A and B are shown apart, each in its own frame.
Chain A
Amino acid sequence: MLGMGGVAVAGPSASSVNPAFAAVPGNGGTSLTLPLGALSAVTRDYWDPYSAGFDALSTLDQGSALGLYLLNPAASPDRVTVGVDANGLSVTFEGGATMRLADPTSFDGGLELPVGGAVGPLRFGVRPYLTLHARFQPGTDTRKVFETGSASASATLEADAEAGVALDVGAALPLPVPSAVLGGGRLYAGVRGSAIAGLAKASADLKGQIQAEQDSSGNYTGNVLYSYSGTLSQGGLLNGTVGYGAQAALGVAATVPSEIGTVTLGASVRHLGVMIWTVDQTRVQGDQASGSSTSLGTSQQVEWARHVTVDADVALAVPAANLGVPGMDLLLAADGTVDLSGGFAAHMGTELRFGPFAVRAGAGYQDGLRLGVGAGVRTGPVGLDVALTSHRSPFTDHQAYGVAASLGFGF
């Protein structure tokens, strides 16, 4: 739900997180996050390498958060100073975002535009998607480069971007549970299968190293050397092919009534599956003197579940009668997600709803601190939600603020 710090709220609108939520009463309908970030391609010039405003860091920040129109994307420093002295190498930055390169960091971004409907317990949908993943791993001595200096530093980066269209078929049903087990609550199970057409894929697996050269006696020669090597891959329409694959998601959820309100618990596993791409691979390597790229040819690449995630959710819905404020309902929610390939996220948020209006706030950790405030209105079967959110920009301590909007249908 927009403006709640990224928390998933149990209900059909969050069935993409937990397929069992499709059967849980609550936030219904379909929510479509508008790709406001794409507007920056025409309103801002940091995307264009040939423009006076080009900024790779801003591009990366906005490009990994297309659901937001960033008001203050991270800006590159005004000056980078590379120092060479008795301690080896050092790097300092002036101006721009505070760079955060001494520690491992990652970012995950992307956008899904799901459209679908339900027939009884079955849900059908079409889900165009774009995903971005990156993991930056500095070497053990790299921290010193940004502090006292170091004789050498290295870093690895894994990055991949993928775009495609998924055809989803899911089912969610309440399971028969003796009323004494959940205190009169209900248990739900859901499953979703997806057939995926992969339209584009690009990935990079790279290592870079920089070193202050030392002679046989261990004395610095004054030379600074750097080198890089790695593999680049591209598939899908980028090389005239189409990838294909299948994914599955499983989930369970339970609603438990309490004196305060209804507690909803959920757990799910997502992104189980395989994608098969026909990719062109290129080996790149170089150093301060020269660089080269060599084609490794075309091959079939089978990727088994690269980003399997396990999610857990909890929510408490307090109706107006228990809240003591006529016409006002309260919702509290929290969730956690573990990416089995590395990384985790946690969010919590709240919503106050009064009639057709709602206000929301939340906070979370997902590649850095996330904050959000938002509001929504529903009229008939259509709803509009807007939010002001913030996240930590990749590779920096910069907190970027952005505007997001979503349309809801069929509550």
Chain B
Amino acid sequence: MTQTHPLARTLAALALMASLALLLAGCSRHTALTVRADLIPFLDSASTQTTVPYTGGTTTIDLPPNSSQPTAGTLVDLNNVGVPTDAIRTIDGLALDFAVTITPDSDIDPGTATLFIAPASETDIFQSGYEVAQVTIPTLPATLSTTVTGAFQLDAQHHAEAFTRIQSGSFRLGVALQASASSGGQAQLDLTHLEVAVSLPPGWGLP
């Protein structure tokens, strides 16, 4: 095979990056990359609109509710969202924004929303070992629709174990809402917003 001269390779690399124009823009030591995915359009309605039972006292509502079944919404495959395989290992940030409208049968006191990140092969993602971050949620009045929003910001330095899973390229996400209910019943859930953003640091992809 003919060897390519370094100068030609340099030009070719520049030209190639220009044809993939956003990569040209991103080709510097000071350029970071964010891949942001709005997952709602890619989820089927069974994953975004459902009714789940809960018990009186301390109760937990899992999102997505059918946590034992891997779904497109929880299996985030970074290889398939165009992040180069080598670059995945440099991911240093993850943000998750969600909004869910909840209509419970009974009053639910303020509680927490906990983010779980599990390996792609895991069927039960709501295990304590996969818990990575928590935010508070407001009171959920009985029979009224309340929109609960949450924003999780993770970085590789403070969430090393979770990032090991993220940097593998495929992982599952889940959010568990935990609060105290005045009595048992059912809750209507409508997941209206679920956005995942992963960040690659400046200089990603460069030698």
Q: Tell me the A residues contacting B by CB distance below 8 Å.
A: 46, 49-60, 75-86, 91, 93, 96, 99, 101, 134, 136, 138, 155-157, 159, 161, 200, 202-204, 206-208, 210, 213, 219-226, 228, 230, 232-234, 238-239, 280, 282, 284, 288-289, 293, 295, 297-298, 395
Contact = CB atoms under 8 A, between A and B. Distances in A.
A297 B1 CA distance: 8
A156 B19 contact: yes
Contacts of B8: 202, 232-234, 238
Given A54-B206, A200-B7, A234-B4, A76 B31 contact: yes
B29 to A, nearest CB: 5
B16 A84 contact: no
B26 to A, nearest CB: 4
Interface residues of B, number: 49
B29 A222 contact: no
Most buried by A among B22, B27, B33: B22
Contacts of A207: 19
Interface in B6-21: 7-8, 11-12, 14-21
Given A80-B25, A91-B22, A96-B31, 5 more contacts: A83-B36, A93-B25, A101-B22, A224-B82, A395-B21
A239 B2 CA distance: 9
Contacts of A232: 4, 8, 12, 15
Contacts of A159: 11, 14-15, 18
B8 to A, nearest CB: 4
Contacts of B12: 202, 204, 232, 282, 284
Most buried by A among B28, B37, B206: B28
Contacts of B38: 83-86
A200 B28 CA distance: 27
B127 interface: no
B24 A206 contact: no
B34 interface: yes
B19 A56 contact: no
A51 B20 contact: no
A155 B23 CA distance: 12
